[in-house]
Structure 1
Amino acid sequence: MRMTNKVVLITGASRGLGLSLARRFAREGASVALTYNTDAAAADRNVEALVAEGAQAMAIGGDISDPDAVKAIFAAVLARFGRIDIVVANAGRELIDTPITEIDNAMFEAVTKTNVFGTFYTLRESARHVTDGGRIIVISSTTTIVPNAGFTAYAGSKAAGRLYVECLAQEMGKRNVTVNGVVPGPLRDAGVIANLQENDYQALAQLSPFARLGSVADVEGAVLFLASDDAAWISGHHLVVNGAAKV
């Protein structure tokens, strides 16, 4: 198991990709800390399931757009496990298929607070507390590299994370900490796309030469690789996981 004796903190892990990553890291032998924003019951159930399978796991509530909450999250993980080896900054807020003229101030502020401010706060605490030789991984989106109408606010907010990765990689190298981004395309089983109609799935699938949509399982391997010892000389990189799709 590649992650034995590692402690992994995954933000936004009560469902979807974050939960899938928590399960995968646990299967690889890691102790996992899952954060959630509002659904404490789901987070507790997820932890119970991981523990039942033999993993060391905990759930911590907190809104990553609140800097004090982010500090408390890291403090709780350190109090429980004594160290943090890997941070996966996965928590985010979606705002898609919405023309800019229909985005009011509250909508824009909400997506910005989570994706710009929240990711920054998470990375700041990661830089303060991750162990030397550790890993910091930011989950991004292909909307930051393929422009689409209706994604202006969301893509702009996620683009901040790309530059965070590149700049923080320059800061953390002296401690042998790598900082990378994973850039998934549309995932059939995560996010708002999980609620589309079958004909919509088929249309999106045709944008990839593989004629299918990605799944959380496709992204797991990329994250595990960047978190592993095999990726020690990869930093400041954005690993696109979208089956060569033009979306």
Structure 2
Amino acid sequence: MNNDIEIKGQTQDQQPGLENKMNPEPIVIRDSYEGSGKLDGKVALITGGDSGIGRSVAVHFAREGAQVAIVFLNEDEDALATKEMVEAEGTECLLIQGNIQDEHFCREAVVETVEKFGKLNVLVNNAAEQHPRESIRDISTEQLTETFSTNIFSMFHFVKAALPHLQAGDSIINTTSVTAYRGSEELLDYSSTKGAIVSFTRSLSGNLAEKQIRVNAVAPGPIWTPLIPATFDEEKVEKFGKYTPLGRPGQPSEVAPSFVFLACEDSSYFTGQVLHPNGGQVLNG
């Protein structure tokens, strides 16, 4: 499959953005990806599962045999499309709409998942928002609170709610970012939350090691998702990802297999680790 697609200049006026408005739409799963039952009998809950990386993870998990619940904010059309993709793989998909900044909603999402499927085995903390600013003085207290509430506080909420349902061999996977390692001069608050997610992952992995619940993370580089046109202007979108050694942005389909690996038994000796699908950027960590 050719992942080097031409990205046209485009913007969207609100986050987290809509996949159905992107040109071209991201590649969700490659045709040659063959499931092998790696997640048969498993139940996964994915935040931000309606589009982008979250959608791709949901479809890959489904192809591997998992039942999937996805949490989304207000992207009804994208969420329904993801549900159709998951169910086309022969499994079930539960849609849960709400704001993950609300701890009560996070608890209820876990409860709804367990009530629907009877258990929970994999928690994927993936949802995020970002708002570029030229100066730290331009970052309002409101923006700072919003970004941290979505990107990192929600992970605490979901893990606290999920833990009573997770057993030995189950998995928590957090989405961090290349910006946690190289920084981002325009995304100070976003990259700070992503750094916090790395520390959260490492610390929680130690905390849960005795329970044999594995905690890992994925740190994508520039990936073509709705968050990109919803964040940057047309000029920056056209140049997006071209600075990487591979010379292009990645596709969600090139990231989701990392989540499959961390969710299944293949990674049984991995905990506290971060995988880096980032187009060849060599990082310390």
> Do residues 76 (structure 1) and 112 (structure 2) align?
yes
Identity score, percent: 28
Question: In the aligned structure 2, how far is the partner of 1:199 from the partner of 1:75?
Answer: 41
Shift of 1:74: 0.5
Question: In the aligned structure 1, how far is the partner of 2:240 from the partner of 2:249?
Answer: 10
Question: In the aligned structure 2, how far is the partner of 1:98 from the partner of 1:114?
Answer: 21
Q: Map of 1:27-42 to 2, 5 A cutoff? A: 27-42=63-78
- Structure with the bigger RCO (C-alpha within 8 Å, sep 6+) is 2
Q: Map of 1:213-228 to 2, 5 A cutoff? A: 213-228=249-264
Q: 2:22 corresponds to which residue?
A: none
Q: 1:204 corresponds to which residue?
A: 241
Is the alpha carbon distance of 1:143 and 1:51 closer, same or farther for their aligned partners in structure 2, counting shifts above 3 Å? same
Structure 2 contact 240–248 (Cα < 8 Å) conserved: no
Structure 1 contact 86–136 (Cα < 8 Å) conserved: yes
**Unmatched 5+ residue regions in structure 2?**
1-36
Is the alpha carbon distance of 1:49 and 1:242 closer, same or farther for their aligned partners in structure 2, counting shifts above 3 Å? closer
Q: 1:6 corresponds to which residue?
A: 42
Structure 2 residue identity aligned to 1:112: F
Secondary structure of 2:255 counterpart: helix
Q: 1:107 corresponds to which residue?
A: 143
Question: In the aligned structure 2, how far is the partner of 1:230 from the partner of 1:179?
Answer: 14
Q: Map of 1:52-91 to 2, 5 A cutoff? A: 52-91=88-127
Question: In the aligned structure 1, how far is the partner of 2:191 from the partner of 2:55?
Answer: 23
Secondary structure of 1:204 counterpart: coil
Question: In the aligned structure 2, how far is the partner of 1:49 from the partner of 1:217?
Answer: 14
Question: In the aligned structure 1, how far is the partner of 2:236 from the partner of 2:134?
Answer: 21
Shift of 1:162: 1.1
CA deviation digits over 1:80-122, x for unaligned, max 9? 1111111110011112354212111211111111112112112
Q: 2:174 corresponds to which residue?
A: 138
Is the alpha carbon distance of 1:204 and 1:246 closer, same or farther for their aligned partners in structure 2, counting shifts above 3 Å? farther
Shift of 1:198: 7.3
Structure 2 residue identity aligned to 1:95: H
Question: In the aligned structure 2, how far is the partner of 1:136 from the partner of 1:114?
Answer: 17
Residue from 156, 180, 198 that aligns with 1:120: 156
Is the alpha carbon distance of 1:159 and 1:43 closer, same or farther for their aligned partners in structure 2, counting shifts above 3 Å? same
CA deviation digits over 1:187-206, x for unaligned, max 9? 1244225876477544732x
Question: In the aligned structure 1, how far is the partner of 2:218 from the partner of 2:208?
Answer: 18
Is the alpha carbon distance of 1:221 and 1:78 closer, same or farther for their aligned partners in structure 2, counting shifts above 3 Å? same
Q: 1:23 corresponds to which residue?
A: 59
Structure 2 residue identity aligned to 1:173: A
Structure 1 contact 13–34 (Cα < 8 Å) conserved: yes
Shift of 1:64: 1.3
TM-score (norm 2): 0.80
Structure 2 residue identity aligned to 1:233: Y
Give the number of aligned pairs: 246
Residue from 256, 267, 273 that aligns with 1:231: 267
Structure with bigger helix share is: 1
Shift of 1:145: 0.6
Structure 1 contact 179–235 (Cα < 8 Å) conserved: yes
Is the alpha carbon distance of 1:24 and 1:203 closer, same or farther for their aligned partners in structure 2, counting shifts above 3 Å? closer
CA deviation digits over 1:212-233, x for unaligned, max 9? 2211111111111111111010
> Do residues 186 (structure 1) and 250 (structure 2) align?
no
CA deviation digits over 1:12-68, x for unaligned, max 9? 111111111111111111100111122345423432443244211111122111111
Secondary structure of 1:165 counterpart: helix
**Unmatched 5+ residue regions in structure 1?**
none
Secondary structure of 1:46 counterpart: helix
Structure 2 contact 130–187 (Cα < 8 Å) conserved: no
Secondary structure of 2:168 counterpart: coil
